[in-house]
Amino acid sequence: MEFKKKITKLYSNGEITVVWQPHLCIHSAACAVGLPKVFDPGRRPWVDPHAAPTIEIRNQVIMCPSGALTLDPPPKLEVLKPKD
Ligand code: SF4
């Protein structure tokens, strides 16, 4: 039986922190394909939160299908106001 060790790693650029929980990753590669300058599995550390603007990192992290990548603080939901 294989046990995946539950660890959490944090990568901060001072504005936002990428939270990485490898035991949740399903290896879709969405992060590495979508924003390779930040998410590079061949590099250590593999997440460089200084390699792109915060908004680009945020937009990529929320696309992670497994929840292995999340944000701290969590992204705010935008409230759309009806037009007059
Ligand atoms: S997008 Fe999420 S599930 Fe896919 S490889 Fe990256 S961390 Fe893993």
CA nearest to 60, candidates 35, 25, 23: 35
CATH code, residues 9-72: 3.30.70.20
Element (DSSP H or E) covering residue 51: none
Indicate whether 78 pLDDT > 80. Answer: no
- Mean pLDDT of the region 64-73: 96
Average pLDDT rounded to a whole number, residues 13-41: 97
pLDDT for position 3: 65
Mutation test residue for ligand 1: of 66, 70, 71, the one with most atoms within 8 Å of CB: 66
If DSSP codes are grouped into helix, strand and coil, which group holds residue 67?
coil
pTM of the complete model: 0.87
Could you tell me the distance, in angstroms and rounded to a whole number, from the CA of residue 84 to the centre of ligand 1? 41
Ligand 1 atom nearest the C-alpha of 27 is 5
pLDDT higher than 60, residue 13: yes
The residue behind tokens 């990548």 is 69
